[in-house]
Chains A and B, each alone.
Chain A
Amino acid sequence: MRRLDLILSLVLLGVVGVFYFLTFQLPENAMIYPLFVISLLLILTLIQLFGAYFRKTDEEANMFKNIKWKQFFFVLVTCGIYVVLINILGYITSTFIYVLATLYGLKTGKKLSILVSVGFVIIMYFLFNEALNVPLPKGFLI
């Protein structure tokens, strides 16, 4: 099993491909340096690919064992929704919703979830708006 190393090599080859394609759209004298570094990545990736092809063991496979996929995707998706929501609702409102939903979804307990999300939002508001003067992203709410 060395599937993961092969996948990694293919992904990197994809990156190399995209950058190669874009490089050839640059003016000629601007091409040299990018071409050099991309070729460097290509050579190293090819070495990795051959290595992975001829190797029998695959340490990385263990890295993806015992993963709680459901929990992982729950966190990833809520994070994604949160980022989108900020632009619509504003930072403070969406942060409150996001923190509460995540805490609740990760089974933190009702009381603690509410306490943490309310407390955290209040601290953030005062820290950034009042103390540090960092403008928070706004939507149609705050």
Chain B
Amino acid sequence: MENVIYGFTAAFQIMNLIAALLSVGVGIIVGSLPGLSAAMGVALLIPITFGMPAETALIALAGVYCGAMYGGSISAILLHTPGTSSAAATAIDGYPMTLKGEAGKALATATIASFIGGILSAVALYSISPLLATLALKFGPAEYFWLSIFGLTIIAGVSSKSMLKGLISGALGLVLSTIGMDPMLGVPRFIFGSNALLQGLPFTATLIGLFSMSQVLLLSEKHLRKGVQIKEVKDKVHLDKSEFKRILPVSLWSAVIGTVVGILPGAGGTIASFIGYNESKRFVKDKSLHGTGIIEGVAGPEAANNAVTGGSLIPTLTLGIPGNSVTAILLGGLVIQGLRPGPDLFTIHGKITYTFFAGFVIVNIFMLFLGLFGVRYFAKVSKVQDSILIPIIFTLSVIGSYAISNNFTDVYVMFIFGIVGYFVKKMNLNSAAIVLALILGPIGETGLRRTLIMNKGNYFALFNSTISWVLIGIAVLSLLTPAIMAVFNKRKAKIENGD
């Protein structure tokens, strides 16, 4: 409790407030620009936050994450082009509202629902993460091995398009994670004659390549978007009392779902927002109204995708298992600050963590105000032409990858992974799976080899504890989930078709 109060007083320091405000603004801009993603924004921000105190840096990263999650709704509502994939469901009812001249109302709904989602997920962050972190105290090397295996099975879930390609991406990530020093013997592996690779692939540079530079190439292969004609926001960005009462239950329920989806590694904003949209149908009597432009249809997905933010931070901070690409990058930012996920974050580094949590709440409050009062201006930003975005994103990618260790090798690594990332996307492989494997590979390897050394090569030592068995159980479950879901959906479709 002491830490919680300390967190709020520290988060209200002027530096942290400025960081929160600016980063939310940047996040909203990144989110509202179609083609730029939250992952890209966070990846590019890491080097900038590098020199800041840890808590300020984390608040800034969370600000971009939350802002981008919300910002996607602006272009979904005004342009029918979701700024991020998480906002795709928002467009279904959001854009018809704009066509009816209710763009302001739709934006206000998205803002308020996102705020409710964010705040509710903050409650989960406060209450669940310390408990989960205590559990992590009981983890030995064998448990960490199974934890990483569980994390890797998530890849099957992350890759909705093709499980095989998801697994290939994961295996490729594992292979890449072996680059660098052998963790037990100190022998250099696969460094291709470069001493800079002794520490392994530079994580941030790899990420910036995979998520930012690849985006530059993807933008440049298409017909470039010139300044689009965006629909004017004619009405007030405002909801009256009765409208607020209509969206409150939808938003609360979707926020709960979004938080849970966020905690489950592998799922993310996109899945959450579609579930949120479906759930919003429960709250409207006349089902035919959905898709014609009703506020419930905007509130459902928006509350859900912003609730993912807090939820997804829980496994990231406590177990070091990021469920999506944004939290994977955030985890990278955490490690750069010298912080390791796990129980230490809630004891030794408790002050930093709780300042970050309080900052997360503040970020959401700023998001509410910026959304309600500034959304017209943010909407104008989504007019920026692609031809301007291309060189700007690339120069930021270069300086971003350089700044971490003032080493130009990192820039070359970024460049190579930019090209790799482009083909990864074109070939339907999965960058998030590669990143997940890059993070989990070393955890699993160290866990496995330490267990074997401690038990003189006895493989049965891996199965000695209850926690290990629980982890094996949920790993199997997570591997089977896509198959189970497929059967479930087929049945549902049959029932709906009246068969």
Contact = CB atoms under 8 A, between A and B. Distances in A.
A103 B395 CA distance: 13
Contacts, number: 147
Contact of A19 (B175, B408, B441): B175
A103 B175 contact: no
Interface residues of B, number: 55
A121 to B, nearest CB: 9
Contact of B387 (A34, A60, A108, A124): A108
A95 B392 CA distance: 9
A60 B427 CA distance: 6
B391 interface: yes
Interface string A30-54: 1001100110110011011001000
Contacts of A15: 172, 175
B431 to A, nearest CB: 15
Contacts of B386: 106
Given A68-B223, A75-B220, A37 B392 contact: no
A41 B172 contact: yes
Given A116-B388, A134-B399, A33 B187 contact: no
A132 B51 contact: yes
Nearest to A120: B392
Interface in B361-412: 385-388, 390-392, 394-395, 398-399, 402-403, 406, 408, 411-412
A112 B388 CA distance: 9
Nearest to B406: A135
B224 A67 contact: no
Given A15-B175, A44-B171, A48-B168, A30 B394 contact: no
Contacts of A5: 427
Contacts of A10: none
A38 B399 contact: no
A64 B426 contact: yes
B167 A4 contact: no
B48 interface: yes
Contact of A128 (B178, B187, B399, B441): B399
Contacts of A67: 221-222
A124 B399 contact: yes
A137 B408 contact: yes
Task: Determine chain A's interface SS by DSSP, over half rule.
Answer: helix
Contacts of A111: none
Contacts of B48: 132, 134
A132 B52 CA distance: 8
Nearest to B224: A106
Contacts of B164: 44, 47-48, 51
Contacts of B220: 68, 71-72, 74-76
Contacts of A44: 164, 167-168, 171
A27 B187 CA distance: 8
Interface string A90-114: 0100010011001100111000100
Q: How large is the interface on A (under 10, 10 to 19, 20 to 34, 35 or more residues)?
A: 35 or more
A134 B221 contact: no
A29 B427 CA distance: 36
Interface string B211-223: 0010011001111
Contacts of A134: 47-48, 50-51, 399, 403
A4 B427 contact: yes
B74 interface: no
Given A26-B187, A34-B189, A72 B221 contact: yes
B408 A37 contact: no
B256 interface: no
Interface-central residue, B387, B394, B403, B406, by most chain A CB under 10 Å: B387
A71 to B, nearest CB: 6
B174 A75 contact: no
A95 B402 CA distance: 14
B415 interface: yes
Contacts of B171: 37, 40-41, 44
Interface in B415-468: 415, 418-419, 426-429, 441, 445, 448-449
B222 A68 contact: yes
B126 interface: no
B14 interface: no
B486 interface: no
Contacts of B415: 79-80, 83
Nearest to A100: B391
A91 B399 contact: yes
Nearest to A121: B395
B185 interface: yes
A107 B221 CA distance: 15
Contacts of B395: 82, 95, 98-99, 120, 124
Nearest to B404: A134
Contacts of A86: 398, 408, 411
A112 B428 CA distance: 36
A33 B178 contact: yes
Interface in B18-62: 47-48, 50-51
30 contacts: A5-B427, A8-B427, A8-B429, A12-B172, A19-B175, A29-B185, A33-B445, A37-B174, A44-B167, A60-B427, A63-B426, A63-B428, A64-B426, A72-B220, A79-B216, A79-B415, A80-B415, A83-B398, A86-B398, A91-B398, A99-B391, A102-B391, A103-B388, A106-B387, A108-B388, A112-B388, A120-B395, A132-B51, A134-B403, A136-B399
Given A68-B221, A134-B51, 6 more contacts: A33-B448, A38-B175, A67-B222, A83-B398, A83-B415, A106-B387
Instruction: Name the 8 nearest CB pairs between A and B, nearest first.
Output: A106-B387, A75-B220, A41-B171, A102-B391, A37-B174, A99-B391, A72-B221, A134-B403
